[in-house]
Structures are given as C-alpha cells and as structure tokens.
Amino acid sequence: MHRRQPGPAHIDRLVRAGVLLVVLFAAIVTSASASAPTSTVDDTPASTRDGFDRTPEARTIDTMLEAMASQGRFSGAVLVARNGHVLLERAVERLRHLPLRARPGTRLARLRRAPFQALGRPDPAGGLLSTEFADQHDPRWHATFTVEHGHAVQLRMRNIPRGYSFLARRTDAPSRRVAGHDSRVIVPRPTGTLPVGTATLTLVDRARPDPFASDRERRRILAQVYYPSADGDGARARYLPPGVARALPSKGVPATTLSAITTNAQLDARARQGRYPVLIFSPGYSVPHALYTGLLEDLASRGYVVIAVDHTRETEAVQFSNGEIVRRTLPVDPRSLILKAIKARTSDVTFVIKSLDTLRRRAALAGADTSKIGLLGHSLGGLTAANVGTKQPAIACAADIAGSVYGDARLRPFRRPFLILDGNQRESTLPRWWSNLKGVRYWVTLTPAKHLNFTDWTWLVPTLEARGLTPHVENLGAIDGRRALNLERRYVGSFFDECLKHQPSDLFNDPRPQPDVRIRH
C-alpha cells in the first residue's frame, strides 16, 4: 500500500507543535526555579560553569564591556558569579580570560533579595566595588562600578539570570584575591589641593667619607623629593621598592604587601610653576622615609617641596636611583654609637641644606624657594631637626615629632618658631628643651597616642587587619589610626603655614581644643 508523504503545511504544523512543547517545558522549569529560595550551595553544574563564557549572557556582558572600553569609560575587570562561585572573569582591555578557576567554596558575597536594588558600597578611594544583585521584578539589571577616583561608570544589562553577582576591580591591582572589598592598600589621600609628584635623588658629599663604610667611600644619601606637580596624571610611585621591603623586619606583614601599597604621588611628574617653601625631613632610627608617606605627601599637597632623607647604613635598607641596595650596618640598639649616628645625621641634613641652590637645577626642585627652609623629623629625626636648627641660620623653623632632645642641641637656645608634637610617652629630655625655646613655641600632645602613631603604621595596622593580616606592631596607642594621621597632618601643616607662609592659624590658640589634644605655648 502506497503511503502518502507529508506535505509542507503538515511539516510546518509539526514544527510549531514541537516549539510550543519546548516553550511550555521551559516555562514550567522557570516557574519552579523562581519559587525556590536562593541557595547558598552552588547548584550550577560544573559543565554549565565551564561553558558560561559561551552563553548569551556572557556575550551580553562582553558587548557592554566592549562598548564602555571603546568610549574610554572603564578600565578594569569584571567577575560574574552565581551563588558566590566564579563563572567568568573578563579584562576589558582585550576581553580576554583571566586565570581564575571556579571552585566550590570561593565565596564572593552573600546574595540577598531586594526588588531592583544594588547591594554594596564603593570603596571611597576608588578601584574596587562589589555589587550584589537580588531577585528583580523587572528583567533589567543595573550596576554602577566606581573604578577611578570620583569616576562612576554605569553598566546596564537585560535578561541576566537571577542569583548572579558582579565584582569590578582595577586590572592594575596588585592582588588577585577575590573578595568583597579592595585588597589593595592605598595611602590616605592628602588633604591639600595640589597634586603631588615625587622623584628619587642620589646625593654624594665628596668632601666627607662615610663614617660607617669600611672602605671609607664618599658619603652617599638618598633624598626622596615630594613636590607640587603640574597635573595628577602619570604612573604612581611605589611605596617601597621590593628589595627594601624584604629587608625590613616583617612585623607579620609580607614584603609583597608593603611594596604593593599604592601612593598618591606621580613618579617624576612635571613640577608645578610657582615658588614653594622647602621642608627637610629626617626619619626615626633605622626607619625608611617611606613609612611617613602619609605625612610627606600631605605637606607637598599643601604647597611645600619636601626632601626626605634616608641615612645610609643606619636605615634598614636604602635603594639608590641606580638600583643598588645598601643594608644597615649599625646595630639594632644604637646606644654605643648614638652620638656617632647623630653626628652623621646632622652632617647629612646640613649637606642637603648647603646643596639646595645646586639641587634647584633638578626638575623636582625647580619650584623650591630656598629662602624659606623648615626642618622636621620623628624620633631621632626630631633630635636631628633640633640639632641642625640650632647651628644653621638658614633654618626659619623646626618641628620635633616624638623625639628626645639631648647632646649639643640642648646646650643652645633656639630663637625661632618650634613645634613639639608627641603622645603620652613623654620624653624626659623635653622639659629642659622646652625652656631653651625663646621664640614662638607650641607643644601639642595627642594624649591617646604612642610613639609609632606618628608613622604610617598608625593607619597601616587597622587597614591590614581589615584585610585579614595580623601585623605585630607595638608602641601604638588607643587613638584611631586615621584620626592620629589627620591630627598630625593638621598641626604640622598649620605650624609650617604659619612660620613659612605667614598664614596665621587659630588652631594653636583654641581655648577648647579636641578632648584628646593638649596644647602648651
């Protein structure tokens, strides 16, 4: 019996029926999925995770990122996750895969339910934003990523499956950690209005042998210059060279973490036009100048050319501009050599002062006003500032931050403005030095602070603790770290504004200062 072949109309009806069955089945599955609560267990099959980059959703994300990248509006990376597990990572520049594997237990964030609401807050310093999405009654999805300082980018998507979360971060971030916050560490933003540049100078005093070198080589010191720059663009200077970071006592902080800290200063930036007073800074015994970056950058942003000196073979490690690293040779406890160290420090800073007119030929010091010079230092650096200030008539004023004053310095009166800034560990030598101050004088005490609250450790410790590290740093007081830095910046900056720029401040004459601040005149 001959069976009639189906015609085109019959085939079309069969195809339509098949499509209808598929659509109905998909609707049933979708309905069941929508009624189920959000799971904290990854119920996405591994095959789906591995193939997510080939799905329409991934292509939608790529399309949007490519559009933003072409407009120059976004520079970073985006992670896509379901129920806390990574499905996709994209770098905007080339829309390439990054080597990040999805695996159970890699949690990005706990997903929550909220109608059309992005959950999460941007890092105020810029760089990373974790944004969580919940169930949306509207199929449109909306994320705002903050990836540059003060610059927001909007990413709008349609038909993204429920239960997904997104994380954006700068591709130049030093850490590949997947977390709900910025894993980078950034020096607190300066309070001044001027952008900051920085440059490294190697200075050689050919008239003086190095007192701590066995071969009697000429004395070399490193001078890190922070200065007002013409603009804020350009590569950021690193906080510490890796070789110097490795030489420091660990204090429970990996060297890679210290060397990866982001500063606010632009490396070798063009100097801003104008004339700016000069401040010369001497750090504490064995401490690199970098551990005062929060203060030094701030002073430059207020309109100063700041020269920070690393005292070779006393500082833990000094890396000169040619890349050579010189380690500390002095003992950890310097009491047997302290007078020799003070003499070397005094000569170092004096050499910088006498070289200023020559150094102005360097681009970083083009705006230096060498007729207005101030000194400051922390700990042994405070003693250095007092000692040099009593001997050099070119010094207009000086500041001692938590440093004892003894030796030659306390034998002479100091007739120019002087600031003492300390904490609750008052140095026994300071009352005698206070009586030697014959000019304008201020003694500011941050009562909850201790010795290292005047270094970057004051803000680094809580910042690193928030990132899961446990720094072993003693000599920090009960004061909030950021507050300690802000008060130090405020009093030191106002003091030099008053004595070098002739800008009077009521800060030191406030009859009712902050409750944790004491002021003497």
In this predicted structure, what is the pLDDT of residue 498?
Answer: 97
> Regarding the domain delimited by 196-520, which CATH topology (the fold level of the hierarchy) does it fall under?
Rossmann fold (3.40.50)
Of 340 and 401, the structure prediction assigns the larger pLDDT to 401
In this predicted structure, what is the pLDDT of residue 74?
Answer: 40
Distance of alpha carbon 91 from alpha carbon 169, whole angstroms:
10
In this predicted structure, what is the pLDDT of residue 54?
Answer: 56
Average pLDDT, stretch 146-153?
34
Query: For residues 391 and 415, is the Cβ–Cβ distance under 8 A?
Result: no
Q: Whose structure tokens read 């015994």?
A: 285
Q: How confident is the model at residue 85 (pLDDT cuts 50, 70, 90)?
A: very low
Distance of alpha carbon 412 from alpha carbon 398, whole angstroms:
15
Query: For residues 203 and 220, is the Cβ–Cβ distance under 8 A?
Result: yes
pLDDT 10s digits, 244-273: 999 998 888 999 899 999 999 999 999 999
Domain ranges of the chain: 46-169, 196-520
In this predicted structure, what is the pLDDT of residue 53?
Answer: 54
Average pLDDT, stretch 362-381?
96
Residue 3: CB partners within 8 Å, gap ≥ 6?
none
SS3 (DSSP) at 403 = coil
In this predicted structure, what is the pLDDT of residue 211?
Answer: 92
Strand-pairing partners, residue 167, are 79, 130
In this predicted structure, what is the pLDDT of residue 13?
Answer: 53
In this predicted structure, what is the pLDDT of residue 466?
Answer: 87
pLDDT 10s digits, 100-131: 333 333 333 322 222 222 223 333 333 333 33
Predicted TM-score of the model (pTM):
0.67
Of 92 and 310, the structure prediction assigns the larger pLDDT to 310
Residue 141: CB partners within 8 Å, gap ≥ 6?
133, 156, 157, 158, 160
Query: For residues 77 and 168, is the Cβ–Cβ distance under 8 A?
Result: yes
Mean pLDDT across the chain = 74
Q: How confident is the model at residue 231 (pLDDT cuts 50, 70, 90)?
A: confident
pLDDT 10s digits, 56-81: 555 555 555 554 444 443 444 455 55
In this predicted structure, what is the pLDDT of residue 337?
Answer: 83
Q: How far, CA to CA in Å, does 358 sit from each of 308, 362, 391?
A: 17, 8, 21
pLDDT 10s digits, 346-360: 999 999 999 999 999
In this predicted structure, what is the pLDDT of residue 114?
Answer: 25
Q: How confident is the model at residue 406 (pLDDT cuts 50, 70, 90)?
A: confident
Q: How far, CA to CA in Å, does 444 sit from each of 258, 315, 422, 516?
A: 30, 28, 7, 10
Distance of alpha carbon 202 from alpha carbon 319, whole angstroms:
9
> Considering only CA atoms, which of 516, 400, 468, 518 is closest in space to residue 182?
468
In this predicted structure, what is the pLDDT of residue 475?
Answer: 93
Query: For residues 455 and 488, is the Cβ–Cβ distance under 8 A?
Result: no
In this predicted structure, what is the pLDDT of residue 216?
Answer: 77
Residue 305 has pLDDT above 90, yes or no: yes
> Considering only CA atoms, which of 281, 292, 279 is closest in space to residue 372?
279
